[in-house]
Chains A and B, each alone.
Chain A
Amino acid sequence: MMSEEEKKKLIKKHSKSSPVLKNSLRAFFFGGLICLFGEVLLKVYVFFGAEEKTSVSLVTLSVIFIASLLTGIGVFDKIARFTGAGTLVPVSGFSNAVTSEAMDSASEGYVLGVGAKIFTVAGPVIIFGLLSGVIYGVIYYVYSLIGG
């Protein structure tokens, strides 16, 4: 009988590894490209008279909309297979996760299908974001009582 450690070593030896460098360079390029696109869009919104703060929000909204639409028409997954983290890390990845979960669970109904499953990836992101925010808030509040 082989020990678990020996088995793990064998599994590692026979498992093909992902092309890390190629994947990472692609992620760099396409992730950078999305941010560049956002920046150009930001300048366009500002040019048409929007405030800078509003424009930043509008850019985020635009990327969420485009990613959601591309997911809807079945193109996003094909792009993401190539771009990897390049489309995952910008807000497009969040939008795709939400939309794809929603679309997938439509066959189980809108309330317990879409309504519940839509949070599969969005839920953890929102809850851990808010949790960090609350921890920061407590620290900042206490700090402002003592120091401020």
Chain B
Amino acid sequence: MEHNLILVFILGGALCFLAQLLIDLTRLTPARILVIYVCLGVFLYAVGIYEPLFDIFGCGASLPLIGFGANIGRGVFEAVNEKGIIGILEGGLSASALGITAALVLGFLASVIFRSKTKRM
């Protein structure tokens, strides 16, 4: 595992660059961008591009939300191999459980501990 740091920066940056273009030039909302990126991640894994992408770009591929999608893809792939048809339904959520649970639990804790402040200009 030796990811070139410059390449990590470039792919991570490029994915954000593209998203910003989509937000500013089209009327796609940030929530839609996130959905598109997750689906894109599943697709990239399915067609076998994601794994080599990760080998070269490391966190530049895994931290953007396509990494989250690719996790779902990998989960489905491995579960179908292992358990057959059941894996179609089981794989996605179990592979992405870590991120989802962490985000939800931390979000809940934050709502207990912190209070929203008004927006500032």
Do A and B share a direct contact in the complex (Cβ within 8 angstroms)? yes
Please report A residues at the B interface, Cβ cutoff 8 Å.
17-18, 20, 23-36, 38-42, 46, 52, 56-57, 59-61, 63-65, 68-69, 71-74, 77-78, 84-86, 88-91, 93-95, 97-106, 110, 114, 118, 121-122, 124-126, 128-130, 132-134, 136-141, 144
Residues on B with beta carbons closer than 8 Å to the beta carbon of A29: 13
Residues on A with beta carbons closer than 8 Å to the beta carbon of B98: 57, 60-61
CB <8 Å contact, B38 and A125 = yes
A140 CA to B89 CA, complexed, in Å: 13
A55 to chain B, nearest CB (A): 9
Residues on B with beta carbons closer than 8 Å to the beta carbon of A114: 108, 111
CB <8 Å contact, A125 and B34 = yes
A-B pairs, top 10 by smallest CB distance, nearest first, are A31-B16, A35-B12, A32-B13, A137-B88, A133-B92, A38-B59, A27-B20, A132-B42, A85-B20, A32-B9
For this complex, 29 residue pairs linking A to B, each with C-beta atoms less than 8 Å apart, are A20-B20, A28-B13, A28-B17, A32-B10, A32-B60, A35-B13, A59-B62, A59-B63, A60-B99, A61-B98, A64-B106, A74-B114, A84-B23, A85-B16, A88-B33, A89-B15, A94-B68, A98-B103, A103-B107, A104-B116, A105-B111, A106-B111, A110-B108, A118-B107, A122-B100, A125-B31, A129-B38, A129-B42, A144-B81
Interface centre among A57, A100, A104, A136 (most CB of B within 10 A): A136
Chain B facing A: main interface SS: helix
Please report B residues at the A interface, Cβ cutoff 8 Å.
1, 3, 5, 8-17, 19-21, 23-25, 30-31, 33-35, 37-39, 41-43, 45-46, 58-60, 62-65, 67-69, 72-73, 75-77, 79-81, 84-85, 87-89, 91-93, 96, 98-100, 102-104, 106-108, 110-117, 119-120
